[in-house]
Amino acid sequence: MNKADVNQTGGLRLDTDILEFAFDAPKIAQLLGYLAHDLAIINGCSENNNVVNNGTVFINGEILPFKQSVKANTVVIVEKKTKRAFKTGQNKDVLIERWVEFGVSTLSYNWASFYRVKSLKQLELDLAQKAGLQAFNNLIARVEKLELFARPFAQGGSMLFWNKPADKIPVGWREVLNWRERIAIGWNPDSDSDIYHSIGNTGGSETHQISKSQLPNVTIGFNDAYYIESSGINTTAVSGKIHLGSNYGGANGTDSDNNTLYYRRAETDVIGNGESINHMPPIRTVMYIEPIPIP
């Protein structure tokens, strides 16, 4: 910054150009106000009962005193000029006093736009209470990871088990109605069954009725067979097995003594009632819920 060295031996005649030089030197210091803001409160200007007290403000490169006044939406720069006599006898404006107060004019400044400058100590304390850059970046990474996992819910298509009543479903979620009484099964486009080929296909039943074609392929026989005479059944055993399904009384060969051998039809008692088989494994009823898609 420029400076004037006037305190020297011999005496310096004080001319107007020296005064102008002295007045211009501090102007550069006022530009430090831009470090805060184009419009800033340097100090003071506290508010009490809708009155803003004295202080100092910065407006577009100029540091100005603020004079106490009733608070309003805008402030203005006020000038007061004082005349002084020159050698020619003329009185001219020499002293120009400038300050800021609340008011309205052709050039006004919104009071809400003024930024209150904090001391370096206060800034240090504020920064100490805030996360460092590395912590902030770590937080951003965690949020991005959470957003990645949450996309199936945010975009719709995912659902969860809900183990409480319907009136307890959280705000922003709803029941998936078409999943009532359903159990999930994995999609498989290569399956022999078409039901697994497309998402959303339904099938299956709680019970199943067994048909004759589904019974095991087995036969039932006896260790002994008998031949029948006209007087009744001869109790002498004939080796071999009775042929199931033959008509009773039909001659079918002779034994070793040339007796006519008859087969008789053998049947078991009726078993079972033909009731449906329950396919249900052990279950616990829950509700499927899904988030309401975010627009």
- Give CA–CA dist 93/144, Å, rounded: 65
Task: Pick the range with the lowest mean pLDDT from 141-145, 176-180, 190-194, 256-260.
Answer: 256-260
The helix/strand/coil state of 254 is strand
Distance (Å, whole) CA 97 – CA 64 = 10
Q: How many Å apart are CA 70 and CA 50, to the nearest integer?
A: 6
Above 80 in pLDDT, residue 62? Answer: yes
* Of 23 and 267, the one with more pLDDT: 23
Q: Which range among 60-64, 144-148, 276-280, 282-286 shows the weakest confidence by mean pLDDT?
A: 276-280
- Closest-CA residue to 227 (of 215, 237, 241, 212): 237
| Confidence band of 235 (pLDDT split at 50, 70, 90) | very low
pLDDT band at 216 (very low <50, low <70, confident <90, very high): confident
The pLDDT-based confidence of 234 (bands split at 50, 70, 90) is very low
More confident of the two residues 32 and 121:
121
Least confident span in 68-77, 81-90, 135-144, 235-244: 235-244
Q: Strand 39-44 and strand 115-116: pairing? A: parallel
42, 66 Cβ separation under 8 angstroms: no
Distance CA 150, CA 281 (A): 32
pLDDT mean over 171-193: 88
Give the integer Cα–Cα distance in Å for 232 and 151.
86
In this model, does residue 215 exceed pLDDT 90?
no
The winner for highest mean pLDDT among 23-27, 105-109, 240-244 is 105-109
Q: Tokens 């497309």 — which residue?
A: 198
pLDDT at 284 exceeding the cut of 50 = yes
Is the pLDDT reported for residue 259 higher than 90? no
Q: How confident is the model at residue 153 (pLDDT cuts 50, 70, 90)?
A: confident
Query: Which amino acid is present at 204?
Result: G
Please report the pLDDT score of residue 236 as a whole number.
Answer: 44
How many CA atoms lie less than 13 Å away from 162 in the CB half-sphere?
Answer: 20
Instruction: Give the pLDDT of residue 244.
Output: 32
Question: For 19-73, what is the HEC assignment?
Answer: HHHHHHCCHHHHHHHHHCCCEEEEEECCEECCEECCEEEEECCEEEEECCEECCC
From 27, 3, 28, 285, select the one nearest 165 (Cα to Cα): 285
- List, as own/partner pairs, every contact residues 238-246 make where C-beta atoms lie below 8 angstroms and the sequence separation is at least 24, other chains included: 242/266, 244/219, 244/220
Q: Which one is predicted more confidently, 93 or 29? A: 93
CB 293 within 8 A of CB 156: yes
- Which range is least confidently modeled, 19-28, 152-161, 226-235? 226-235
Domain residue extents for the chain: 16-121, 213-262
Find the mean pLDDT for residues 123-131: 72
Angle at 278 between CA 277 and CA 279, to 5 degrees: 110
- 160-162: strand order across its sheet: 160-162, 287-291, 173-175
State mean pLDDT over 250-258.
52
